[in-house]
Amino acid sequence: MLDDLRTLVEVESPSGDPVALAASAAAVVGVLERRLGGRAALVEGPAGPHVHWSGGGEPRVLVLGHHDTVFPLGTLARRPFAVEDGRVTGPGVFDMLGGLVQAVHGLAALDDLTGVEVLVTCDEENGSPTSRALVEERALACGAVLVCEGAADGGGLKTGRKGCGTFEVLITGRASHAGLEPEAGVNALVEAAHQVLRIEALSRPGAGTTVTPTVAAAGTQGNVVPARASVVVDVRVETIAEQDRVEAAFAALTPHVEGAGIEVRGGVGRPPMPESATAGLFAIASRLLPGVAGVAVGGGSDGNFTAALGVPTLDGLGAVGGGAHADHEYLLVGSMVERADLVTGLVTAIRGARAVRPA
């Protein structure tokens, strides 16, 4: 597993770089075919290639992951793959190349891979704009999804995820000289300040809803009334009802400053992953790995899409470690075999249950 992980990590795969992602996809194909046999297919797209592998027969379980990472080209030179004191470090080892490798080796332990599919996308870190339809198609076809994203703290499985999305509020005003005739302008920055307060008030912590302005920009010169401003907002929700409320509130934003205009873009791109969608598979995992915790988390994954379709989904089956998206990202070597075995057991149980289910 460490050899295969090194192979993947040493082919850098930043989201949004189709050339780099093509090389990364080729490396994923090599690992899949070497460990599982058969042929993996490249599904080309504008963001880069996704990788799909099938063991043939009636689809029963989809193992889902992604090979893109958040780290720019050149990160590997500064932070190379290394194994020391029971930890693996390097760009993408936790999110989520380690989980992908563990899953492949867990599948390789099976004598028969009939009904198993593996889908490894290239744009998950950017919200899966080119892979969502494919993810949903294969999830519906298979009827059960195992997501090999990194584990929750302490190795817990992710049994719930918030829906998440990004809004951008674009504000237009009218420029004028800030000293000679400020009254002739329409101050987009002042309008943005009013909107930020309105937007932040949409949060409902008791309902699990956070609405957080994160990036703002306005103005061109210190002596010019700004004619344009923008505010980026991160949104996390636990329920579809809250998603609908927040999206409706953004759509209903109106200007406070006379003469200003407002345009809202974006939305909640990943729907919530309810714990009800994970309960059955988590019960199986609990028998296979007694004491494992089920944790609801704020971050999103492609598991949000599959669970929202009503497809049984279990997330967080990947690496045990931490530091996702950070320079201190790491994977614990001592948990790799146990997590690979968990995938083996889950696939065996899912296929067995489907095989004896009445028509």
Catalytic residues, by residue number, are 68, 124
| 3-state SS class at 197 | helix
Contact 312, 75 (CB under 8 A): no
Angle between helices 336-356 and 98-108 (to 10 degrees): 50
Helices 2-9 and 18-36 cross at an angle (nearest 10°) of: 160
Rounded Cα gap, residues 69 and 307, in angstroms:
23
Q: How far is CA 73 from CA 17, 55, 78, 234, in A?
A: 9, 34, 10, 26
In one-letter notation, the amino acid at residue 276 is: S
Q: Strand, helix or coil at 357?
A: coil
Please give the structure tokens belonging to residue 279. Answer: 């309960």
Rounded-to-integer distance, Cα 186 and Cα 192, Å: 12
Q: Which residues touch 134 (CB under 8 Å, ≥6 apart)?
A: 43, 50, 52, 119, 121
3-state secondary structure 232-248: EEEEEECCHHHHHHHHH
**Residue 67 structure tokens:** 């090979």
Under a CB-based contact definition with an 8 Å cutoff, are residues 184 and 208 in contact?
Answer: no
Angle at CA 95, nearest 5°, toward 2 and 49?
90
Residue 117: CA count within 13 A, CB half-sphere:
25
